[in-house]
Amino acid sequence: MDMSTKYNPKEVEQGKYERWLEAGYFKADVSSDKEPFTVVIPPPNVTGKLHLGHAWDNTLQDIITRMKRLQGYEVLFLPGMDHAGIATQAKVAERLRKEGIEIKDLTREEFLEQTWKWKEEYASFIRESWAKFGLGLDYSRERFTLDEGLSKAVNKIFVDLYNKGLIYRGEYIINWDPSTQTALSDIEVIHKEVEGNFYHVKYELEDGGHVEIATTRPETMLGDTAIVVNPEDDRYKDLIGKYAILPIVGRKLPIIADRYVDMEFGTGVMKVTPAHDPNDFVLGETHNLERINVMHEDGSINELGGQYEGLDRFECRKQLVKDLEAAGHMIKIESHVHSVGHSERSNAIVEPYLSTQWFVRMDPLAEKALENQDTDQAIKFVPERFEGTFSRWMKDIKDWVISRQLWWGHQIPAWYHNETGEIYVGETPPEDLENWTQDEDVLDTWFSSALWPFSTLGWPDDTEDMKKFFPTNVLVTGYDIIFFWVARMIFSSLEQTGQKPFDDVLLHGLVRDDQNRKMSKSLGNGVDPLDVIEDYGADALRYYLATGSTPGQDIKFSNERVESVWNFINKIWNASRFSLINIGDNFTMDDIDLSGEKSLADKWILTRLNETIDAVTRLSDKYEFSEAGRVLYNFIWDEFCDWYIEMAKIPMAQGTGQEQQMTRSVLLYTLDKILKMLHPFMPFVTEEIYQQINGEASIVVSEWPKVDESLSEQSAKKEMATLVEIIKSVRQTRNEVNTPLSKPIDIHIEVKDESLKSRIEANSHYITRFTNPESLVITEKVTLEEETKTDVLSDVTVILPLAGLINFEEEVARLEKELKRLDGELKRVNGKLNNEKFTSKAPEAVVEEERQKRDRYTAQYEEVNTRLTTLKSRL
RNA sequence: GGUCCCAUAGCUCAGUGGGAGAGUGCUUGCUUGACAUGCAAGAGGUCGGUGGUUCGAAACCACCUGGGACCACCA
């Protein structure tokens, strides 16, 4: 045995991960006949280092897979990373800019070369973090969303969907980020409440008079092509079919009617700008209006903006407002809070923009995904409520813009004929390639992430991995990416493989700081998981993250709690030290023999161990790790350490050889099961202790504990409960009368039941051990003339003669209070039992429990009452 | 506007139909031979409010109050 008195995470963690990898414990064997269990890691972006959210996510995956590995499954925990198109491109561009290089001065190839370098750099940071976290990943199967196999899958799916008519190209209003100059999907746009203005502009009518139109984006009026009112609106009915004049520009705008207009809102008159607003775009389509796009891709005004050409959109707004005011066209400006879309990545204000893009037709895919939830193939969401989040989103989903005007990503497998303009879409380039030009755009990152559970296993090829490890078993991720990722994996997998991508989805929340703010780079409030590991060790961090909240709830990061986990691990460490010291060097797992005569402590702890194994297994299967962790914590600290080990010290100090052997067996047996149950939560320290016991053998590939009913004895629990009650009673009194354990006192225990009396006598050495009596008398009837403290317990009465230490009157008062309490309990219990509705409707077990309580309280009441009477007679 | 989550001890949070719990903090005592990062004893809660369902509600339902998240095209 070589263990310091203090748990040192750095020493413990040193070198373990490398040894696990060398031994190949995490390598999944496709030819194994064991049942497979598969988890794919949610691929982190290669944009930066891993944060606490990753640590949490990965810990849960690792706990699940380590547990399954111990339970005899062929486990595949597959690692990989995401190229993260926009985010990575932006980071690389930023770094280049710092080096004085502008992205537009590079060719596509040159830029990609730089980006691959970046990717390699960050990939190694990420792998270092995974190692620190202790993740049991099969690196032989590591994937990257841009690698060859995955690109093949992406192309195949693009072509398939195109051929099925589920991917199309067209000119529509999309969300445009003028900063990164790319299209964005709806969910990449973050809406924020912004203090803006409502500009009320006067549009003169051709025939005289005017209408008042309110807008929040006056610069878009440069692209107005109509005025619209509600056909039912009496105020404006007459105007329909006439013309208004666009201020400044002077264009004639037809006044049209459409029920879309809300008569109650604003002035009830709306300008229509089909090229710069999604609703106006739809109006433009139904009414066949011209689309005038007045902006360049960088958000500045183009030549169609006349005198404003070249101005940035917000500069143009200012200038236009000035000009409208000068021309007497500005009626009023009201301040107005409204929600404005911002780019998730660049935070630039998103411009609704007319643009030619590629889209996925969502309705048929969404329908399939929703229908699947009504079959026996339904995906189980944990917690359940997120299935609602998923289906609500799927139900009114819009088509998905998948093209991005970037370089870093999967270039769209579409080619345009240089002369005819004909489109070719295929997995391989057209044969006469010199006549064709490939689409410059790449696909949305999430298009490839959506294929992750099967593209990583070799799909579309009919690989052995696909056959063995797909569908995967559980996907663990944050609820914040249900739309981005989970939903898209589900419809993609159902469409492409005909199977669900995973059986279960376990959703966790977000990591927040101590002020309950989301941890983010911009706030600078992020906590680096590697710093936490440096201070407390990976095992403490993992246990904290796994048990710090329930599924779907956010976690408020607390250093204090991680520290208290460190204390717990230190406790485990020292309990193991005790065990190892006491079993000695020559006793091993093979020497465990539980067939001989066991002490009460042995029987009790083995019974409780069985119950703990059962509970931890059950709770973990339901992903209730905080409960499983609590059960383990209580068993280990409160029962194994505080009671069993203390009791085991007796035979170890003064028992016979046989008794010592049994104690060694039970100690080691229990410790072994404890370590195995803890291992998924804290892999490093459990491995260290396991190897202290077993030498080279690794706990990683050991076996999950099983309940052994032959070791359970329910009666031991009851006997133990009585002993604990007696011991606690004495301790309590010792505290009250300020008599430390070092000072022996006389203890009398009155037991009316003969068989209970003999059982307590047989175990009196435990009472002696914990209470340090001068004399211990266990008898049927105690009669003492001196002053006593009397504690009436469930089955026995503890009487301590404490002449001079306790006050007669106080003792009487205490007993009276006790009598009153028992009286209250009795009234409550009798109230229930006398209620016919209770006895007839409540389950028999519950009624029986109440009856037993009544009997116990009655006996206690009588006992206390007798004592009290005696005591009073002496006053 | 719609949907969802949260409200339990000073603090952080478990507990989802039959005895109000843990960690931490606080009080008191203890150099007990694994651990003072520990041991023992203790104080501290009308489980946000109101009403309902039930023999029985912290838990289930409705409404209300307060906090938070997400979704949504209101010019």
Q: Is residue A388 part of a domain?
A: no
Q: Is residue A66 part of a domain?
A: no
CATH of residue A838? 1.10.287
Residue with smallest Cα–C1' gap to B40: A731
A260 touches strand B (CB under 7 A): yes
- pLDDT of A454: 97
pLDDT per residue as tens digits for the range A39-50: 999 999 999 899
- Residue A814: band (very low, low, confident or very high) from pLDDT cuts 50, 70, 90: confident
> Which residue, of A312, A327, A352, is where some domain finishes?
A352
How far in angstroms lies nucleotide B11's C1' from the CA of residue A553?
A: 19
Nearest nucleic acid nucleotide to A268, CA to C1' distance: B75
> Which residue, of A693, A712, A731, is where some domain finishes?
A712
Instruction: Give yes or no for residue A155 having a pLDDT over 70.
Output: yes
Q: Is residue A668 part of a domain?
A: yes
CA A366/CA A398 separation, integer angstroms = 10
Q: Is residue A662 part of a domain?
A: yes
How far in angstroms lies nucleotide B21's C1' from the CA of residue A7?
A: 28
- Residue A120: band (very low, low, confident or very high) from pLDDT cuts 50, 70, 90: very high
Percent of chain A with pLDDT over 70: 100
Read off the pTM.
0.94
Asked if residue A739 and residue A696 are part of one domain, the reply reads no
Asked if residue A339 and residue A242 are part of one domain, the reply reads yes
Instruction: Give yes or no for residue A323 having a pLDDT over 70.
Output: yes
Helices A559-583 and A657-678: crossing angle, nearest 10°?
150
Burial label, A286 (beta-carbon count in 10 A; 0-12, 13-18, 19+): exposed
Asked if residue A830 and residue A763 are part of one domain, the reply reads no
Residue A68 annotated as binding site: no
CA A674/CA A267 separation, integer angstroms = 72
Percent of chain A with pLDDT over 90: 69
pLDDT per residue as tens digits for the range A369-394: 999 999 999 999 999 999 999 999 99
Residue A795 belongs to domain spanning:
717-800
Asked if residue A726 and residue A699 are part of one domain, the reply reads no
Q: Which nucleotides of B are covered by protein (CB under 7 A)?
A: 3-6, 12-15, 18, 22-24, 28-42, 54-56, 70-75
How far in angstroms lies nucleotide B52's C1' from the CA of residue A59?
A: 43
CA separation, residue A389 to residues A375, A473, A553 (Å): 18, 21, 15
> Within A499-558, where are the H helices?
529-536, 538-547
* Counted domains in chain A: 4
CA separation, residue A773 to residues A423, A720, A731, A735, A838 (Å): 96, 19, 11, 15, 46
- pLDDT of A746: 92
Structure tokens at A451: 């294929």
Asked if residue A245 and residue A336 are part of one domain, the reply reads yes
Asked if residue A341 and residue A194 are part of one domain, the reply reads yes
A558 touches strand B (CB under 7 A): yes
- Residue A518: band (very low, low, confident or very high) from pLDDT cuts 50, 70, 90: confident
Cα Rg of chain A, angstroms: 37
Structure tokens at A613: 């194994």
pLDDT per residue as tens digits for the range A127-145: 999 999 999 999 999 999 9
Q: Is residue A325 part of a domain?
A: yes
- Residue A789: band (very low, low, confident or very high) from pLDDT cuts 50, 70, 90: confident
In angstroms, how far is the first alpha carbon of chain A from the final one?
Answer: 61
Please name the residues in contact with A118: beta carbons below 8 A apart, sequence gap of 6 or more. Answer: A46, A88, A91, A92, A95
Task: Give the closest residue to A466 by CA, choosing from A480, A487, A477, A451.
Answer: A451
- pLDDT of A234: 87
The kind and range of the H/E element at A431 are: none
CA separation, residue A21 to residues A142, A330, A680 (Å): 14, 72, 16
- Residue A419: band (very low, low, confident or very high) from pLDDT cuts 50, 70, 90: very high
Q: Is residue A606 part of a domain?
A: yes
- Give the pLDDT mean for A617-628: 94
pLDDT per residue as tens digits for the range A449-491: 999 999 999 999 999 999 999 999 999 999 999 999 999 999 9
Per mean pLDDT, which of A112-121, A226-235, A584-593, A781-790 is the most reliable? A112-121
A618 touches strand B (CB under 7 A): no
Q: Which residues of A in 58-117 have their CB below 7 Å from strand B's atoms?
A: none
A786 touches strand B (CB under 7 A): no
> Which residue, of A685, A712, A739, is where some domain finishes?
A712
Q: Is residue A203 part of a domain?
A: yes
| Buried-state track A635-659, b at ≥16 Cβ within 10 A, e below 16 | bbeebbbebbbebbebbbeebeeeb
Instruction: Give yes or no for residue A238 having a pLDDT over 90.
Output: no
How far in angstroms lies nucleotide B27's C1' from the CA of residue A114?
A: 64
CA A568/CA A574 separation, integer angstroms = 10
Asked if residue A834 and residue A786 are part of one domain, the reply reads no
pLDDT per residue as tens digits for the range A559-593: 999 999 999 999 999 999 999 999 988 899 999 99
Q: Is residue A413 part of a domain?
A: no
Q: What is the dihedral of CA A181, A182, A188, A191, to 10 degrees?
A: 40
Asked if residue A635 and residue A684 are part of one domain, the reply reads yes
CA A477/CA A487 separation, integer angstroms = 12
- pLDDT of A271: 93
| DSSP per-residue letters across A650-707 | HHHHH--HHHHHHHHHHHHHHHHHHHHHHTTT-HHHHHHHHHHHHTT--GGGS-----
Peptide bond into A651 cis (omega under 30): no
Instruction: Give yes or no for residue A23 having a pLDDT over 90.
Output: yes
Residue with smallest Cα–C1' gap to B18: A846
A654 touches strand B (CB under 7 A): no
What is the 8-class DSSP label of residue A644?
I
SS3 A785: coil
Q: Which residues of A in 348-407 have their CB below 7 Å from strand B's atoms?
A: 385, 388-389, 392-393
CA angle (A423 as vertex; A421, A424 as ends), nearest 5: 135
| DSSP per-residue letters across A97-143 | HHTT--GGGS-HHHHHHHHHHHHHHHHHHHHHHHHHHT----GGG-E
- Give the pLDDT mean for A414-424: 93
Instruction: Give yes or no for residue A631 having a pLDDT over 70.
Output: yes
CATH of residue A196? 3.90.740.10
Task: Give the closest residue to A699 by CA, choosing from A710, A689, A709.
Answer: A689
- pLDDT of A338: 84
Distance of alpha carbon A517 from the chain centroid: 17
Nearest nucleic acid nucleotide to A644, CA to C1' distance: B34
CA A269/CA A230 separation, integer angstroms = 8
Instruction: Give yes or no for residue A629 having a pLDDT over 90.
Output: yes
Give A591 or A827, the one with higher predicted confidence: A591
How far in angstroms lies nucleotide B17's C1' from the CA of residue A385?
A: 21
What is the 8-class DSSP label of residue A300?
B
- pLDDT of A875: 67
A846 touches strand B (CB under 7 A): yes
A271 touches strand B (CB under 7 A): yes
Asked if residue A849 and residue A794 are part of one domain, the reply reads no
What is the 8-class DSSP label of residue A287?
T
CA A536/CA A538 separation, integer angstroms = 7
Is there a contact between A830 and A782 (Cβ–Cβ < 8 Å)? no
3-state SS record for A57-89? HHHHHHHHHHHHHHCCCEEEEECEEECCHHHHH
Is there a contact between A783 and A813 (Cβ–Cβ < 8 Å)? no
CA A459/CA A421 separation, integer angstroms = 33
Task: Give the closest residue to A453 by CA, choosing from A438, A468, A475.
Answer: A475
Specify the pairing of strand A74-78 against strand A80-81: unpaired
Instruction: Give yes or no for residue A858 having a pLDDT over 80.
Output: yes
Nearest nucleic acid nucleotide to A271, CA to C1' distance: B75
Peptide bond into A383 cis (omega under 30): yes
Specify the pairing of strand A210-215 against strand A252-257: unpaired
- Give the pLDDT mean for A363-372: 94
Nearest nucleic acid nucleotide to A629, CA to C1' distance: B14
Is there a contact between A188 and A175 (Cβ–Cβ < 8 Å)? yes
CATH of residue A622? 1.10.730.10
Specify the pairing of strand A414-417 against strand A436-438: antiparallel
Q: ipTM score here?
A: 0.96
Helices A385-395 and A362-372: crossing angle, nearest 10°?
150
Asked if residue A727 and residue A673 are part of one domain, the reply reads no
- pLDDT of A1: 67
Nearest nucleic acid nucleotide to A734, CA to C1' distance: B41
Mean pLDDT of chain A: 92
Asked if residue A822 and residue A771 are part of one domain, the reply reads no
- pLDDT of A788: 82
Residue with smallest Cα–C1' gap to B2: A392
pLDDT per residue as tens digits for the range A691-745: 999 988 999 999 999 999 999 999 999 999 999 999 999 999 999 888 888 889 9
How far in angstroms lies nucleotide B37's C1' from the CA of residue A354?
A: 64
- pLDDT of A36: 98
How far in angstroms lies nucleotide B12's C1' from the CA of residue A633?
A: 17
Structure tokens at A377: 């193939």
Structure tokens at A668: 């080691």
Asked if residue A851 and residue A729 are part of one domain, the reply reads no
- Residue A143 φ/ψ, nearest 5 degrees: -130, 160
SS3 A401: strand
Structure tokens at A580: 């190892």
CA A746/CA A801 separation, integer angstroms = 7
Instruction: Give yes or no for residue A621 having a pLDDT over 90.
Output: yes
CA A79/CA A74 separation, integer angstroms = 16
Instruction: Give yes or no for residue A504 having a pLDDT over 90.
Output: yes
Distance of alpha carbon A841 from the chain centroid: 41
Burial label, A270 (beta-carbon count in 10 A; 0-12, 13-18, 19+): buried
